[in-house]
Amino acid sequence: MDVKSAFLNGDLAEEVYVQQPSGFVAAGQEHKVLRLRKALYGLHQAPRAWNTKLDATLVAMGFRCCNSEHAIYARGSGHELLLLGVYVDDLVITGANTREIDNFEMEMKGTFKMSDLGLLSYYLGIEVRQEAGGVIIAQSTYADKIVERAGLTGCNPSPTPMEARLKLSKGSTTAPTDATEYRSLVGTLRYLTHTRPDITYAVGYVSRFMEAPTVEHLTAVKHIIRYVAGTRSLGCHFPRRGAGGASLFGYSDSDMAGDIDDRKSTTRALFFIGESPVIWLSQKQ
């Protein structure tokens, strides 16, 4: 769902005055200003005012905000559980009971002017395919943009995200490269890891050399992008499960002092609920 003119719903805590808009100036009172009672687009506090308004509204409807992810709200439990994801004025709603979803939509439409955009198919660059067997999330269009931005359109794809046993150092003796361009490419790859656990380790590894990247580091980044070029359509599949429930299990590993600069270890982890990957990370400790 989408909130129409969301920022206009925010209540201002401060006194804010504006000049009378062109075409609506009161005759004989041209010297007067108008006091805002609601937020306007362009005000610095407008996004905060809207978020405060939405949060108060959801709490009044019985939702509780997640302690670790403040953009996630939940109401009810078990078969009545309703989950809500918020990004500014866009709401992603999911739950086990369609009746609860319909009731919430009616509540929101009674409070704000809303648009029902139907089943989720695209959100923040993430493509969502809802099929009978489950849900697939991917970023193939975004991956195409990364390949194009790196100037590697039509390149020979790499079979793996990174060369086996590759060891890079901050003290590389190869020529320096454009740090801004390097950081930009790595940043785009980091967003791609939202649906690509297979490149998480490689992207985390090249992220260590943001300060002073060299040609050697850039070559490793382009190796990842060439791998992405050949695997654009890959993503995560979340199969629908029966009433039997699903267990939580995971895998973790460490390279034991594998960093050649500071001898710190890199830990990797991947956790599943049933057959669905839900957490993947690569972290130097």
What digits encode the pLDDT tens for the residues 260-281?
999 999 999 999 998 889 999 9
Distance (Å) of CA 147 to CA 28, 144, 217, 234, 267: 61, 5, 17, 15, 28
pLDDT score, position 115: 92
Share of the chain above pLDDT 70, in %: 99
Percentage of the chain modeled with pLDDT above 90: 80
How confident is the model at residue 143, as a pLDDT? 96
Mean of per-residue pLDDT scores for the chain: 93
In degrees, rounded to 5, the angle at the alpha carbon of residue 42 between the alpha carbons of residues 38 and 43 is 55
pLDDT at residue 55 in the model? 96
Cα separation, 16 vs 2, whole angstroms: 27
The pLDDT of residue 244 is above 80: no
Distance CA 32, CA 29 (A): 6
Contact predicate 205/168, CB 8 Å = yes
Return the exposure string of 67-84: e unless at least 16 CB atoms fall within 10 Å of the residue's CB, then b: eeeeebbebbeeeeebbb
Average pLDDT over residues 177-201: 96
Place of tokens 């939580």: 248
Q: What mean pLDDT do residues 171-192 have?
A: 95
Q: What's the mean pLDDT in 243-257?
A: 85
Q: How far apart are CA 167 and CA 95, in angstroms?
A: 45
Which residue has 């039509």 as its token pair? 154
3-state secondary structure of 131: strand
Mean pLDDT (whole number) for 138-153 = 96
Does 180 have pLDDT greater than 90?
Answer: yes
Torsion of CA 64, 66, 70, 71, to 10 degrees: -80
**Which conformational region is residue 240 in: left (phi greater than 0), alpha (psi within -120 to 50 degrees), or beta?**
beta
Please, are residues 161 and 198 in contact by the beta-carbon 8 Å criterion? yes
pLDDT score at 241: 75
pLDDT of residue 242: 64
| Residue 267, strand partner residues | 254, 283
- Rounded mean pLDDT of 132-139? 92
Packing angle of the helix pair 215-230, 140-149 (nearest 10 deg): 140
Alpha carbon distance 151, 142 (integer Å): 15
Instruction: Report the pLDDT value the prediction gives residue 8, as an integer from 0 to 100.
Output: 93
Task: Report how far residue 285's alpha carbon sits from residue 265's, in angstroms, rounded to the nearest whole number.
Answer: 5
How does pLDDT run across 40-79, given as a tens digit for each residue? 998 999 999 999 999 999 999 999 999 999 999 999 988 8
106, burial (CB in 10 Å: exposed 0-12, middle 13-18, buried 19+): exposed
The closest of 89, 48, 85 to 70, measured between CA atoms, is 85
Structure-token pair, residue 198: 């297979």
Residue 243 has pLDDT above 70, yes or no: no
> pLDDT at residue 245 above 90?
no
